[in-house]
Amino acid sequence: MITLITYRSGFGQPSFSPFCVKAMWLLQAAGVAWQREDSNDPRKMPYAKLPAIRTPHGLIADSHNIQTYLEKQGADFWGKAVDRVTGHALIRMAEEHMYFHIVLDRWGNEEVWPIIRENYFADIPALLRRPITNSIRKATLKGMHAQGLGRFSPDERLDRIEGDLTAIAAQLDGRPYLMGDQISLPDYTVAAMLGAAMATPLPTKLNQRVVNDPVLADYATRVSEKMAVT
Ligand SMILES: N[C@@H](CCC(=O)N[C@@H](CS)C(=O)NCC(=O)O)C(=O)O
C-alpha cells in the first residue's frame, strides 16, 4: 500500500495543494492501492514540500518523481496521446507559471489571506497562528518577488496568464481532454491548477476568469469527476 503524504482537503478540493491533487490523480490513474496521510508540515520531506509518497522502495518526494516512480512500476499515463511535446509544454506552463499565479492569488491578496491562514493553518493553536503564519507568508511572498510575478499587480498578472488560459482552451478544441478523447498526464496537472484557481475562496480576478469560462470550468470539473478523489 502506498501512502500519499498530502496537505488536507479544503475549498471543495481533495487537497489545498494542486500538486497534491495531481499526485492523487496519478495514483488513481496508476490503479495502485493507496491511502492518504494528511500533514501540514513539509519540513522533514526531502525537498521540504508536499506531496510525497511512502512506498516499499522508500520515500518519493515531488509529483514528477511520483510520476516516474509509478511509471517504473508499470503505469502508463500517456495512453494513446500522440503529441507528447505539446503535452510536456502544457505541464511546464501549468507548474512553472500558472501555479505561481494561484499562490499570489491566495497568499498575496489581503482579503483572501485571512481565509487561507484560518484554513491552511487551522491546526496551529489560535494564539500562535498569526505570528507563525505571518513569517511563513513573508517567506512565500519573498519567493514570489524573486520569481518575478510577485512584482506585478493583479491586473498585470491576469494579463500575463491570459495566454495560458487561451492556450488550454485552444488545445482542448472541443475535445474532452487535452490530448483528445482519453485523459492523460497533462490533464492531471493542468486541471489541478484550474481547479485550484476556481477554488480560491473569494472571487479574485483570476478565480472569476476561470469560473466564468465554461470551456475551462467544465474541463476542470470533468477531470476532477473522472478521477473521483474525495
Ligand atoms: N515540484 C513540486 C512542487 C510542490 C509544491 O510546490 N508544493 C507546495 C504546496 S502546493 C509546498 O509544499 N510548499 C511548501 C513550501 O514551499 O514551504 C511537485 O511537483 O511536487
Residue 230: the pLDDT is 61
Q: Where are the beta strands (DSSP E) in the chain?
A: 2-6, 34-38, 52-55, 58-61
Separation CA 69–CA 67 (nearest Å): 5
Q: Are residues 57 and 146 in the same domain?
A: no
- Classify residue 79: in a domain, yes or no: no
Q: CA nearest 104: which of 163, 160, 32, 171?
A: 160
In sequence order, what are the beta bridge partners of 59? 54
Q: Using the 8-state DSSP alphabet, how is residue 177 labeled? A: B
pTM, two decimals, is 0.97
User: Average pLDDT of 87-114?
Assistant: 98
Pocket of ligand 1 from Cβ distances under 6 Å: 17, 19, 42, 48-51, 62-64
Residues 51-93: tens digit of each pLDDT: 999 999 999 999 999 999 999 999 999 999 889 999 999 999 9
Place of cell 478521477: 227
- Classify residue 55: in a domain, yes or no: yes
Q: Are residues 178 and 150 in the same domain?
A: yes
Q: What is the DSSP string of 112-162?
A: HHHHHHHHHTTTS-HHHHHHHHHHHHHHHHHHHHHHSGGGS-HHHHHHHHH
CA of 49 to the centre of ligand 1 (A): 4
CA of 38 to the centre of ligand 1 (A): 14
Residue with the smallest CA separation from ligand 1 atom 9 is 17
- Classify residue 77: in a domain, yes or no: no
Q: Are residues 55 and 136 in the same domain?
A: no
Domain count, the chain: 2
- Of the three residues 72, 95, 124, the one that is the final residue of a domain is 72
CA of 20 to the centre of ligand 1 (A): 8
Q: Are residues 28 and 93 in the same domain?
A: no
Q: Locate the ligand 1 atom nearest the alpha carbon of residue 103 and give its number.
A: 10
Residues 24-56: tens digit of each pLDDT: 999 999 999 999 999 999 999 999 999 999 999
Residue 27: the pLDDT is 98
Residues 114-143: tens digit of each pLDDT: 999 999 999 999 999 999 999 999 999 999
- Classify residue 186: in a domain, yes or no: yes
Residue with the smallest CA separation from ligand 1 atom 10 is 17
Q: What is the CATH number of the domain that holds 33?
A: 3.40.30.10
Separation CA 149–CA 141 (nearest Å): 10
Q: Are 210 and 194 in contact (CB under 8 A)?
A: yes
Residue with the smallest CA separation from ligand 1 atom 14 is 49
Q: Which domain holds residue 7?
A: 2-72
Residue with the smallest CA separation from ligand 1 atom 19 is 63
